Structure 1
């Protein structure tokens, strides 16, 4: 009997000890639009950390980030741009700072509308802007002046990349011209385009597309077509007339990523597009070619801006420093075709021939975005009425 009592006592002791072990830590749910986060160490024992590491999440090099800033929320674009950032930009930043990057995908107009709606309680840290949406965000007071002490790469940028008031910075030079499918043009005996007006060649009717006018590339298409017909952004009548004449044969993409898909599926044979959209498709082996029309390409500058009142301001500045670094500028040139703005970037000769240079940027036509932003709502309303899209 005593042996039985002893055994029961031992069993009770073991069960009690097991019940006091802590439950396994549950993994944090993955955000559906987030880049894959870098692995983070589980919480350690409740001991007091040394003074120099108690309050910071310090990488081997770069700015010191407060421990409360463990996520960066970035508003970017879709398609190949999203692919490049998710695969080749965000992971290195996550690893360097032991943080997680969450990203959202929208067009420039839609992204700016969200930032405006959240201005009293910002949910985003950094945003990709174009030279159309950047001045809008700046005028509305939605984006922050950069601290040069935290973004030392500002001193390495070419002058065209610097905002006169120190708000945001251009990380990529892009040109806007004509992209077409060489295979289809060859099979059908269509002469390659040389002018913006070749978008209206009867042989490509029903297979020519532009982006929606509520997108910066759609706005640039209006300007380019107007310029090819003796006008400019202050008079887009010629552009609307030519687009309207296509009727139901006009293809309008809702977003640049959709246009990428149309090109890959060969539904669209020719379009106006940004070189940063063309470049990834070409590198993947698609039968597309790039043409600077005789009237000239248009210039587009692509910014990263820090949101005013960003929830993670130090991490946002660290990201600005990171994306303007020579390493990331080279990656963006290699994978996305953006011309670097960091003067210290050394491009291989073969790559230098493919991406826009400072010289090309200075020779390309730069639309008056201050004027366009003052009339763009009327353009969009008119496009909805007359183009039926």
Structure 2
């Protein structure tokens, strides 16, 4: 065999090995099933091209995904995951996730303060959040406070979230603040709602039903998440998004790194890419996620359909994840006893 042939063979072997290594470089993530086509186009595929790796996405609801993390605790198959702050806190308490080394996230300083360490334990980083406030008919009422929902002339025209929904506890917490109670047991607001339960049109479990109720003029107001706002803007009705004096509440989704992940550095690289101004702008423009990156700029039309801007971020009063976890059962028992739905 000639020297030239040997060199060609060696080069081919090196290229083949390099290709195999790239193919073997796999990041497995756990995510919500929501908008996966958009995430694939905007996030997963571009990252694969950038890192020369493969991104494997496992989806499911929160219960299923947490159960899988627990089942594989000793030999994790998931490298990183996205979830709610409450689920992240539960995962942390069960020893399923590890500290996020934010020194390796070049986009970390671009985040709104509320997203930098949402649970205060260094175990998660926020990548998207949403506001919860009140959509209302401006020709029928004026909403300046969460307490306005229980006024005698307003309560018979509202829908209120059931305690079992994501909007339930946060809305009750803000109502409690308006009534002078900051107690996380929510007894004051639940008691107040119970006294008006016979007047309130419905205690909803799906926000999708509210658009029809509003269109049929069965309701004039309801607490909703900002992600539910867009369909209301299409109604031919004078509707507004309230900015109560007590502020807005809401929720946040966060990124976590699995404890024992074999691809920790790649997971952090992926998280950093997701938090970049470019990716967060594209996701916001596609109305997939509201940006946690403060440098994102979007059109007025897009901004009107997402949770956006520094002022909004500062105005959010988020119910701590630990409070939700520690009080969830007691809230449900109190609600069932007094409101009965």
* 1:19-30 superposed matches below 5 A: none
* 1:219-298 superposed matches below 5 A: 219-245=169-195, 246=197, 249-253=201-205, 258-259=206-207, 261-266=208-213, 269=219, 270-278=221-229, 280-281=230-231, 289-298=240-249
* 1:1-389 superposed matches below 5 A: 48=13, 50=15, 51-57=17-23, 67=24, 69=26, 72-76=28-32, 82-83=34-35, 86-96=36-46, 97=48, 99=54, 101-106=56-61, 112=66, 115-116=69-70, 119-120=73-74, 122=76, 124-148=78-102, 151-163=105-117, 166-180=122-136, 182=137, 190-200=140-150, 205=156, 208-213=159-164, 215-245=165-195, 246=197, 249-253=201-205, 258-259=206-207, 261-266=208-213, 269=219, 270-278=221-229, 280-281=230-231, 289-298=240-249, 300-310=251-261, 313=264, 316-336=267-287, 340-348=291-299, 355-389=307-341
The structure with the largest alpha-carbon Rg is 1
Q: CA deviation at 1:297?
A: 1.4
Once the two structures are superposed, what CA deviation does each residue of 1:277-302 show, in whole Å capped at 9, x if it has no partner? 32x43566686531112332125443
Q: CA deviation at 1:352?
A: 5.5
Q: CA deviation at 1:87?
A: 3.6
Q: CA deviation at 1:150?
A: 5.7
Q: CA deviation at 1:329?
A: 1.3
TM-score (norm 2): 0.73
In 2: Cα distance, 1:119 partner to 1:273 partner:
36
Asked if the contact 2:31/2:60 (under 8 Å) is kept, the reply is: yes
Size of the alignment, in residue pairs?
Answer: 313
Q: CA RMSD for the aligned pairs?
A: 3.7
In 2: Cα distance, 1:350 partner to 1:365 partner:
25
TM-score (norm 1): 0.65
- 5+ unaligned residues in a row in structure 1: which ranges? 1-46, 58-66
In 2: Cα distance, 1:376 partner to 1:100 partner:
35
Asked if the contact 1:173/1:339 (under 8 Å) is kept, the reply is: yes
Q: CA deviation at 1:208?
A: 0.3
Once the two structures are superposed, what CA deviation does each residue of 1:110-149 show, in whole Å capped at 9, x if it has no partner? 7546644553455544433334433333233222333457
RCO higher in structure (CA 8 A, sep ≥6) = 2
Asked if the contact 1:199/1:208 (under 8 Å) is kept, the reply is: no
Asked if the contact 2:294/2:310 (under 8 Å) is kept, the reply is: no
In 1: Cα distance, 2:253 partner to 2:317 partner:
15
